[in-house]
Amino acid sequence: MADDRRPKEPQGLPEGWKWVRLGEVVIENPKSPFKVEDADNFGEFPFFTSGDNILRHSCYLVDGENLFIATGGKAKVNYYHGKASYSTDTYSIKAKGLSTKYLFYTLIEDIEKIDYNFFSGSGLKHLQKDDFKNILLPLPPLPEQRKIAQILETVDNAIEKTEKIIEKYKRIKQGLMQDLLTKGIDEKGNIRSEKTHKFKDSPLGRIPEEWEVVRLGEVGEIIMGQSPASALVNQEGNGIPFLQGSAEFGAKYPLPKNWIVKPLKLAPKNSILISIRAPVGDLNIADNVYCIGRGLAAIKVNNSKANNFFIWFVLHLFSDRLVKISQGSTFEAIGHNELNNFLIPLPPLSEQKRIAEILSQIDQAIEKEEKYKQKLERLKKGLMEDLLTGKVRVNKLLEGENHETA
């Protein structure tokens, strides 16, 4: 009986392309004898599972170019070239007669459809392998496959390089925060140490002699949020943007989804927003005036006593202490008194500004790289949509390469 799902001819495909079923162009690797818990995490070989993290194993099962597909939970595909291992909850395949990297990009382009169509079952969803192997793939000639994969891999490499730069900046920032917010920086731009500067004991440990320890309420007004009646909330942009909790926080500034015409509690522009109900300790800065619900509080810093961004960085560094305070109650939450009495180190205002400026420069570098990464991700998405469907052909690039090598 003919399968009506398979086109009788390459409909909607460019000249030279054809439809193939996944099962026709792959070889299944042997089922793994290893469970997820068999990962030793010190072996030299990557160990692929249905989880998000790639673990390590001392034994390898396959070599060369292979794909590793999650079979439990949610659709996910990994590519690896070399010796590797995988768990019993992972389906491993090797390409036959086509570019493995091209197959990888084709599958991840349709990852949401794969998850929807081929993962089912009660409780934890599982990959239905027989149905999955019946999936139809658009297949260009092999030289075109390789060129498409090369272009997409180039963008992937740029994304990976940018991610490493971001992680490097974040490590630098974390180290600087630890030093600058506990030891400070003198007028000459040097980080203090007990070998070169005077320190003293404090409730927060040893701090520079010039510093104080103060309650958060001494340097700013604490404004606790209050949720308005839901009937007053709208998504049409009428009134003042409304924030209920940290789910609406962006990397630094909020991303409001709702507005309210009759606000109860307002967070002033430039105030520090802090999540005070599960989760506790998430931070943002109000780039506008916001109405805040009971899941949030705002700290309106007194600029004659403290620098707004210095307090922002201090709260980031000591957020674990805020979480510990909240763990004393049945429901994770922190109240006005706990925030008001929360102890923080406070250098002279001029030093606060120097510290905030240094850390803000690192933040700006991170934000710049993150925007570049987002640009690359948009570029990759567009290229995948164009190249993997044949909407844009790479024939001219191939002709140019052939001409150069002739």
Same domain (yes/no): 66, 168: no
In the predicted structure, residue 219 carries a pLDDT above the cut 50: yes
Q: Is the pLDDT of residue 79 over 90?
A: yes
pLDDT at 9: 45
Average pLDDT over residues 147-160: 97
403 occurs within a structural domain = no
Containing domain of residue 219, as a range? 212-346
Average pLDDT, the chain: 92
3 within some domain: no
> 271 and 216, same structural domain?
yes
Q: What is the CATH number of the domain that holds 88?
A: 3.90.220.20
The answer on pLDDT for 403 being more than 70 is no
Whole-number pLDDT of residue 10: 43
| Shared-domain flag, residues 354 and 293 | no
> Residue 327: its pLDDT value, please?
67
Mean pLDDT (whole number) for 240-255: 93
Question: Which residue would you say has higher pLDDT here, 343 or 41?
Answer: 343
User: How do residues 270-287 score in pLDDT, each as one tens digit?
Assistant: 999 999 998 999 999 999
What is the spatial distance between Cα 329 and Cα 340, in angstroms, rounded to a whole number? 18
Q: What is the pLDDT of residue 251?
A: 86
Domain membership of residue 65 (yes or no) is yes
Check whether residue 268 and residue 221 sit in a common domain. yes
Is 387 within a domain? no
What is the band of 42 on the pLDDT scale with cuts at 50, 70, 90?
Answer: confident
69, 121: one domain:
yes
189, 216: one domain: no
Please report, to the nearest 10 degrees, the dihedral formed by the alpha carbons of residues 242, 245, 249, 254 taken in order: 20
32 or 332, greater pLDDT: 32
> Has residue 146 been placed in a domain?
no
Residue 221 lies in a domain: yes
Q: Are residues 168 and 236 in the same domain?
A: no
Q: For 301-356, what is the HEC assignment? A: ECCCCCCHHHHHHHHHHCHHHHHHHHCCCCCCECCHHHHHCCEEEECCHHHHHHHH
pLDDT higher than threshold 60 for residue 381: yes
Choosing from 346, 369, 394, the residue where a domain stops is: 346
- One domain, residues 125 and 183: no
Please determine, for residue 399, whether its predicted confidence score (pLDDT) is greater than 80. Answer: no
Please name the amino acid found at residue 375.
Answer: K
CB 54: neighbour CB atoms within 10 A? 15
In a domain, 80, yes or no: yes
- What's the number of domains the chain is made of? 3
Same domain flag for 117 and 155:
no
| Beta strand pairing call for 240-243 and 258-260 | antiparallel
- Categorize the per-residue pLDDT at 1 as very low, low, confident or very high, splitting at 50, 70 and 90: very low
Q: What is the pLDDT of residue 401?
A: 63
For 299-338, the pLDDT digits (tens) are 999 999 999 999 999 999 999 998 888 866 567 889 999 9
Q: Which of 346, 363, 391 is the last residue of a domain?
A: 346
What pLDDT sits at residue 152? 97
Q: Are residues 304 and 232 in the same domain?
A: yes
In a domain, 393, yes or no: no
CATH number at residue 371: 1.10.287.1120
* The predicted structure's pLDDT at residue 5: 40
Cβ atoms of 373 and 160 closer than 8 Å: no
- 221 shares its domain with 254: yes
| pLDDT tens profile 334-359 | 999 999 999 999 999 999 999 999 99
Q: Which of 296, 319, 346 is the last residue of a domain?
A: 346
> Is 276 found in the same domain as 158?
no
**Cα(292)–Cα(298) distance, integer angstroms:** 8
